[in-house]
Structure 1
Amino acid sequence: MFDRFTTGLVVAAACLLGGLIMLVLRLRDRNPAYSWWVAGFTLFGLGVVLGRLKPYLGPLAVPLPALIALFGVGALWAGLRAFEQRPFPFLAVLPPAIWLIGLTLVEPTYALKPFVFNLAIGTGTLLIGADIMRTAKRPFSARSCIGIVCLIETLISYSQAVALFTLRNEIGDGPLTGWMTFAPFQTGIAMIAIVLFGILMISEVSHRRLHRLATTDPLSDALNRRGFFEKGTAALGPHEKASRAAVVVFDIDHFKRINDAYGHPAGDRVIAEFAARARDQLRPGDIFGRLGGEEFALLLPRMNREEAALIADRIRAVLSATPIQYGDHAISVTASAGLAAAPRDGTDLDRLIAMADAALYTAKQNGRNRTALHQKEPVQLHHLTSPARTG
């Protein structure tokens, strides 16, 4: 059905395509994943080419081509792990081990050699597919499609292995004919699919990384102003259907004094530490960002004013409880907070921020180190009595 030349040509072409694409990406990006992928496609393609040159390989004609191809499968898996900054998969050596050990155990018949290879490559694709699906965050992403392709390849390879073992006597000295020639050809189709879905996966991840860079403040690792408004607006929903939520605006007290007394690097340290301590007090789904300078904003979905005020006070408490270390200095820091709530104070994030900012101004006017709620005349709530260190 599928002659060996056609099969080898399809697989080699798929590997060449994948290797060249990954090489181009490697030249543009020093991510080690691309090196692994170049090696993986190259080794698998080389194994296929050597398989067509068996008459010239002497005693290595049987073990070498398949061994190289199986190491290629392991390199592709290692590349996926490196791309996701996960550790090297030591089980990647299992398929080559199955091949080498299997050759020493089975009878030297024509059918049992491809039986062992199908068993080995099926195990390799099973490990990769299971690893991808086990860690999948989105069921229909390009990454998940690679996992599905690998699992289909496993099913075909294992089915072929069972058939080869069962029909080994009928096959005799070969060659394989009919549907038994499909598995190697299907490997080429799978390689092409992996290349295409791999390009889509790289594109998706690159887009997410660029978006994160564009919406994250590098100093505090919180959302920047753009990111906060983007996520916050989506969380609130349409103005006419805005859900219950609270917005808190924080401002670090006497921040200019800290900069003047200890230097701007100390101020940067204070900003980063405030952000880290604040994040520790938040729920999954709470939206926290740095609006600029020493000012931060927090959106608390599904929370009323009183509950939000407790969160704001808790954040201020953990900030003031322990001085921030900078070199030999222990810098005592406090913060003030202003709070507004939807839908009471508005349904638009810009308006809620403005109302919370007005409440923050009241908190500053009333002595700092406290939380104020927005109303016609904002009034303060709980406050901490420890003074800010002003240098």
Structure 2
Amino acid sequence: MLDIKTALLLWAMEAATLATLLTAIWLQDRTQRHFAMWAFGFLAHGTGVALIGLRGEVPDFLSIEFANAVALSSFIFWAGGLVHPGRAPFMAWAAIPLLIWIGGMLIPGIRDEIAYRIAVYYCASACGQISLAAAAAHHQFSKPRYRRQLAAICALQAVFSLLVAFASIITMPSSIQTAPYAAAAICINLFSSLSAILIGARIVIDRSEERLRQLIRTDPLTGALNRRGLQEGFERLAGPSAIGAPCLALLLFDLDHFKRINDAHGHQAGDTVLLTFAELCRNLMPKGGIFGRTGGEEFMVLARVGELKDAALLAEAIRQSLAAKAIEAGNKVIGATVSIGIAIAPARDANLDQLMSNADRALYKAKARGRNRTTVLSGERVLTVPVTGPEATDEQTDRQVAALKRLMAKAVPQTGVAKP
């Protein structure tokens, strides 16, 4: 039969090993702060359990009051590590176990009687396990099945901790060795810790794979989709199972004279312009649309629309919002404009390469006609959305252009963007 002291020291060694492994993982990527919090949790728990196991070899204050307080403080770090990946607010009530223990030790009748100390510790531990179960159940940090498994393990530990606390009050043991279910409680904690680590490892692997997929699919500077991500997004929007408006529009953007911005203000200012434009596009994107960066200062939007005028409205909202925006880069204020080419096709027949080629033709005309404007490919004709008022015309004015003029004159107040 494993004696209590040996079991406690094995428990402490397991916790220390886990703390070391989690610290090593965190040091490889310090943005993954939840690994550091879990490591601190296991370090605190292992330290407290080790001090409890050294009872008789270290001063009583260290092996009783201090040791149990350190062990219970681990729930603060564990709960913080669980909620951090989901960017949820920290749960202050994860500190309740520690406060219960401190409060109990301030009462002489509890502090001086080992049976009551055992009961207070396991009641506090049960509260901590309930807080972990709540964090696992309610915070979206992983797949539901993993969260349910973690919550079940924590709930099982909480139930058994309450059983030990109740039995300790009933039997009034004179030492930890004679405490009812003490050895079983340690074994259950060991088993639960190992089970939680296995589930946690699966969560970490899934998150790492998702993060890798995200890195493969996105532009590192702006967070916009790259060409691979755009291709995947196009397949979702144009696939046979896709639902939405009947047409698929491709909007191709080219920031005007971007090289001049870099040359005049520096590449850091240029990056600020790119980031500002990317954020603006994401904010104005219709539901279900996707946004990507195709290279340099070129970006793309894919969206399901009802007809051509919907795509033109979206393009003009983005164009006019950027033109009206003062971009702060350090101590400088920079203005920027964008040229836009639009192509549209029935969603069921859409071909990404053809749409990009058509939108590129329209974009070329937008730049050739003075930049800071939107052009659309309609059949074989490239039409320019007017930018100065109802009297503006271009060399291809016809009924469609006139219709777009009237449309944009009405649409600008609705978008909340002032006419330039």
Sort the TM-score into its range (normalised by shorter chain).
0.7 to 0.9
The CA RMSD measured in Å over matched residues stands at 3.6
CA distances 1:339-360 after superposition (whole Å, capped 9, x unpaired): 323327x333333323322333
Aligned pairs for 1:250-289 within 5 A: 250-259=253-262, 264-289=267-292
- Which residue of 1 is the match for residue 231 of structure 2? 229
Aligned pairs for 1:1-391 within 5 A: 4=4, 7-8=7-8, 11-30=11-30, 33-57=34-58, 59-60=60-61, 61-80=63-82, 90-105=92-107, 107=110, 109-136=113-140, 138-140=142-144, 142=146, 145-161=149-165, 163-164=166-167, 168-170=169-171, 173=174, 175-177=178-180, 182-238=184-240, 244=246, 245-259=248-262, 264-301=267-304, 303-325=306-328, 327-328=331-332, 330-343=334-347, 346-380=349-383, 382-385=385-388
Q: Is the 8 A contact 1:232 1:349 kept in 2?
A: yes
CA distances 1:307-357 after superposition (whole Å, capped 9, x unpaired): 22211111111112235455545435242232323327x333333323322
Query: Matched residues in 2 for 1:27 and 1:262: separation?
Result: 36
Give the residue type in structure 2 aligned to 1:54: R
CA distances 1:190-243 after superposition (whole Å, capped 9, x unpaired): 2112322333333333333333333332333322222222333234325x9786
Instruction: Give the Å deviation of 1:279.
Output: 1.9
Q: Which runs of 5+ in 1 are unaligned?
A: 387-391
Query: Matched residues in 2 for 1:159 and 1:303: separation?
Result: 63
Q: Is the 8 A contact 2:249 2:342 kept in 1?
A: no
In the alignment of these two chains, the number of paired residues is: 381
Query: Matched residues in 1 for 2:388 and 2:43: separation?
Result: 67
Indicate the larger mover: 84-93 or 350-359.
84-93
Q: Is the 8 A contact 1:2 1:185 kept in 2?
A: no
Query: Matched residues in 1 for 2:73 and 2:333: separation?
Result: 55
Instruction: Give the Å deviation of 1:39.
Output: 3.2
SS state at 1:335 partner: strand
SS state at 1:220 partner: coil
Instruction: Give the Å deviation of 1:373.
Output: 3.2
Give the residue type in structure 2 aligned to 1:128: L
Q: 1:78 to 1:265 in 2, by over 3 A?
A: closer
SS state at 2:291 partner: strand
Q: 1:229 to 1:100 in 2, by over 3 A?
A: same
Q: Is the 8 A contact 2:326 2:333 kept in 1?
A: no
Query: Matched residues in 2 for 1:370 and 1:277: separation?
Result: 17
Q: Is the 8 A contact 2:150 2:196 kept in 1?
A: yes
Query: Matched residues in 2 for 1:282 and 1:11: separation?
Result: 53
Instruction: Give the Å deviation of 1:296.
Output: 0.9
Q: Is the 8 A contact 1:250 1:360 kept in 2?
A: yes
Give the residue type in structure 1 aligned to 2:209: H
Q: Is the 8 A contact 2:130 2:155 kept in 1?
A: yes
Query: Matched residues in 1 for 2:386 and 2:377: separation?
Result: 16
Q: Is the 8 A contact 1:10 1:185 kept in 2?
A: no
TM-score, scaled to structure 2:
0.76
Q: Is the 8 A contact 2:256 2:337 kept in 1?
A: yes
Instruction: Give the Å deviation of 1:27.
Output: 4.5
SS state at 1:354 partner: helix
Instruction: Give the Å deviation of 1:255.
Output: 3.6
Q: Is the 8 A contact 1:288 1:296 kept in 2?
A: yes
Q: Is the 8 A contact 1:247 1:300 kept in 2?
A: yes
Query: Matched residues in 2 for 1:214 and 1:358: separation?
Result: 29
CA distances 1:86-126 after superposition (whole Å, capped 9, x unpaired): 77655444312211222444655554322211111111222
Query: Matched residues in 2 for 1:355 and 1:23: separation?
Result: 52
Give the residue type in structure 1 aligned to 2:234: G
Q: Is the 8 A contact 2:38 2:81 kept in 1?
A: yes
Q: Is the 8 A contact 1:23 1:35 kept in 2?
A: yes
Query: Matched residues in 2 for 1:318 and 1:269: separation?
Result: 16
What's the % identity of the aligned pairs?
31
SS state at 1:218 partner: coil
Q: 1:308 to 1:185 in 2, by over 3 A?
A: same
Q: Is the 8 A contact 1:46 1:68 kept in 2?
A: yes
Q: 1:342 to 1:258 in 2, by over 3 A?
A: farther
Q: Is the 8 A contact 1:40 1:75 kept in 2?
A: yes
Give the residue type in structure 2 aligned to 1:121: S
Q: Which runs of 5+ in 2 are unaligned?
A: 390-420
Query: Matched residues in 1 for 2:316 and 2:91: separation?
Result: 46
CA distances 1:273-323 after superposition (whole Å, capped 9, x unpaired): 222222221245321111112211111146543322211111111112235
Q: Is the 8 A contact 1:48 1:65 kept in 2?
A: yes
Instruction: Give the Å deviation of 1:147.
Output: 4.2
Q: 1:4 to 1:370 in 2, by over 3 A?
A: same
Q: Which has the higher contact order (CA 8 A, sep 6+)?
A: 1
SS state at 1:54 partner: coil
